[in-house]
Chains A and B, each alone.
Chain A
C-alpha cells in the first residue's frame, strides 16, 4: 500500500458502465472488457467495442502486467491536492492485452526507462483503491 492517506485528492467519477472495473480493483485484481466478436481487449470501459463496434463485451481478469511507454516526473501538479506529493511519476502503460492506460508509476526516477516491464500494484488513496504500477519483480 502506498503512503498516500486521508487527503482530498480527486476521486474517480464512477459510472454504471465502469462499475465492474472498480469492483475488481477493490477485490485486488485488474479486469478489462473483451469484445465477444473481434476478441480485442478494451480500456477504458465502454458499451460498444471501439474496434469493430460490436455491442457485446465480457469482463475478464487481465494479467496486470505491461510495459512503460512514456512517463513524466511531475514537479508542478495540475491539481492542488497533488502538489504536496511532488515530485511523483505518471506514465502510460501498454498492457500485455493491448490497451494502454495512464497511471501513477511507483518506480524510482533513475530506474525509469522506455519499455520497462511493470505490473499493477493497488494503492489506497483515502477510501478509493487505484491501480498504480511498479517495476515487475524479476522472479516472474
Chain B
C-alpha cells in the first residue's frame, strides 16, 4: 500500500466565470484569485512561501513563477509551473503537499486563471507530432479528439446518444442551484442536448464545455499548521496520477485509460473505497470523459455507464452526488482553472458551506483532473477528517 500523503487545504478563492474578460490580463485574474484564497485562509501574502502556477501560453510563456511572484509581491522558496492540461489543478494539490513534506516551504498557493477575449485566436508556433500528423488531416482541437473517443465507446459497447446526453443533463440541472454558474437559470432536457447542433459527429454542442474567463486559487499547508486556520481544514488523504499518451491516435484501448490507475491509487492511498465517497467532483470537459471516468472508478463495469446514469441520481440529495456546482458543463470552464473548480467545490462541500446544494454529512470527496484527450489524469481523495 502506498504511503499516505499529508497536507490540508485552508483557503479557496474562485472568480465567477464570465464569457469575456473585457481587457483584463491573465496576471490580474491570477492576483484576484490569490487574494480571495489567502483572505479565505485568514493569512497574509507574506505567509505564502510556495507558488504553483499553470503555463500561461501566449501571454507569459516563460519564467511564469517569477513573473507571477513579482506581480503578487511574494518571495517563494519553492515554485513551479505545472503543465498537465485539465489535470493541472488537482495535480498541484499533491505537489504542494509533497513540497511541504520535503521541507521546502510551509504554505503554498496553487493558482490557475485565464482571460477570454472576443475574437481572439492565439496560435503558437508548434513543432510537436500532433502539429505534423493530426492538424494537416483536418483534426484540430479537442472536439475532434473527444468525438473519436465517444464514437469508439458507442461502437465497442453500444452506448447511445441518450446515455451521454443524460450526463450533460445532470450537470445543467445541478448548475440551477449555483448562481455563479454560467448556465444558471438555463436548464436543459435530455432531448435538448440531442437536438443541439452536431459539432463533430457524434458530439453535440451541449456536450461540450463553454469556454469562459475566470480563475481559482487554493492554499495548501501542512496538516499541523492547518489546525490553526480560520476554517475547518480539508485534508488531502490520497493522490494518484497517470499519463499514458498525448495524441488521441496513440491512446490505449478504451477500457485501459489512465484513470484506471490514478483513481484506484488515490483511493488506496487514502485507505478508502469508492462506496465511502460522498461527492464525485469529476472533470467533465465532455460527456465522454465523465462516462469513462465512472467506468474507471469502478462505479460500473466498462461499457455500462449508460445503465448507471439511468438508474442513479447525481443531485446533491441523490445517491451519487456528482459535480454539485454544475461542473464545467454547467458552471463553465475557465481554461485550466476549470480543473481547479472541482477542488474548490469539494472544499465547499466538506466544510459544509455549500448552502442549498449541500450534501448531507459530506465526509469524503473524489476529485479528478484530466488533460489532453484522457491523457494526463490526476485523482485526489479529500476529507474533512485527518
Q: Which of B135, B155, B197, B247 contacts A10 (CB 8 A)?
A: B135
> Which of B138-146, B212-220, B225-233, B334-342 interfaces with chain A?
B138-146
Given A70-B148, A75-B200, are A90 and B132 neighbors across the interface (CB < 8 Å)?
Answer: no
Please tell me if the beta carbons of B144 and A74 are within 8 angstroms of each other in the complex.
Answer: yes
The residues of B that contact A44 with a CB separation of less than 8 Å are 129, 132-133
What per-residue 1/0 map shows which CB atoms of A90-125 lie under 8 Å from chain B? 111000000011111000000001100000000001
> Which residues of B, 121-147, contact A by the 8 Å Cβ criterion?
126-127, 129, 131-141, 143-144, 147
Total interface residues on B, CB under 8 Å, equals 34
The residues of B that contact A15 with a CB separation of less than 8 Å are 127, 132
In Å, the complex CA distance between A114 and B202 comes to 14
What per-residue 1/0 map shows which CB atoms of A76-102 lie under 8 Å from chain B? 111100100101101110000000111
Please tell me if the beta carbons of B132 and A114 are within 8 angstroms of each other in the complex.
Answer: no
> Which residues of A, 126-140, contact B by the 8 Å Cβ criterion?
128, 130, 132
Please tell me if the beta carbons of A70 and B139 are within 8 angstroms of each other in the complex.
Answer: no
Q: How far is the CB of B139 from chain A (nearest CB, A)?
A: 5
Does A51 interact with chain B (Cβ within 8 Å)? no
**Chain A residues in the interface with B (C-beta under 8 A):** 9-15, 18, 44, 69-79, 82, 85, 87-88, 90-92, 100-104, 113-114, 125, 128, 130, 132
**Chain B residues in the interface with A (C-beta under 8 A):** 126-127, 129, 131-141, 143-144, 147-149, 151-152, 155-156, 197-203, 247-250
25 cross-chain CB contacts under 8 A: A10-B136, A10-B140, A12-B132, A12-B136, A15-B127, A44-B129, A70-B149, A72-B144, A72-B147, A72-B151, A73-B201, A74-B139, A74-B147, A77-B138, A78-B139, A78-B144, A79-B135, A79-B138, A90-B139, A90-B144, A92-B148, A103-B137, A113-B155, A114-B155, A128-B136
Given contacts A71-B151, A90-B144, 12 further A-B contacts (CB under 8 A): A9-B136, A10-B140, A12-B131, A13-B132, A18-B132, A74-B139, A75-B199, A76-B199, A79-B138, A88-B138, A113-B155, A130-B136
